[in-house]
Amino acid sequence: MRDGGSPTPTRAERRDQATEQTRTSILAAARERLLADGYAGLSTRGVAEAAEVPLSQIHYHFGSKQQLILEVLAAENARLLDRQRGLFGGDEPLWRQWEQACAYLDDDLRSGYVRVLNELVAAAWSDPELASAVRELIGGWFGLLGDVARRVAEQRGGLGPFTPEEIGALMGLPFVGAEPMLLLGFDDEALPARTALRKIGAVIRLFEEGTVSMPQGDA
């Protein structure tokens, strides 16, 4: 028994704890290096050095560089999706939520997350297994936006000719299209992506405040 009456961990418990600590250290180091160096520039040796573990531990716990990156990105993706759920689940009108989503875009560009995700998209074009994993990551964002549109449809009695999934696509695709252009270095004068995205919020406000109505038609 330890002092205070707590039981001494068994050998198996100590082994499991050490394993979890090693995984956590590797993932933290990989996140730091991935956001700094990008997908192409990341090396497992660099991650091992940052985590202060033997290189063999990375292959033991994750199998490959690609699997390590996917685990890091999945955790980052989940964190950002939780942020967006909190945003769109709030009481503010949708147009204000959209404005905040535009502000988050610059945060995510600065963090390196958007760059890494776009690098994985490009790599996935020639790798079906990677493509499946990346579709799942990105699909979470479109699923969330579809849920937002579904809630708006319930509040306003429909979305005109659009399904919630189509509105979700129309909300998400402008961001997906703007991100690689911003990563390429287009400034606001050459390609006013940021101002265009923000003005979509102005259009949403017109619908929310009843200034214009949603066109009707077959879904």
Q: What is the CATH number of the domain that holds 18?
A: 1.10.10.60
CATH number of 198's domain: 1.10.357.10
Name the residue among 121, 82, 120 with its Cα closest to residue 104. 82
Residue 118 domain boundaries? 65-219
The helix (H) or strand (E) run that includes residue 23 is: helix 11-41
Phi and psi (nearest 5°) for 7?
-70, 145
Asked if 29 and 132 sit in the same domain, the reply is: no
Cβ proximity of 66 and 57 under 8 Å: no
Taking only the tens place, the pLDDT of each residue in 160-199 is: 899 999 999 999 999 999 999 999 999 999 999 999 999 9
The predicted model scores a pTM of: 0.82
CA-CA distance, 65 to 44, in Å (whole number)? 6
Longest CA–CA span in the chain (Å) reads: 74
Q: 128-156 vs 164-183: helix axis angle to the nearest 10?
A: 130
**pLDDT confidence tier of residue 5, bands split at 50, 70 and 90:** low
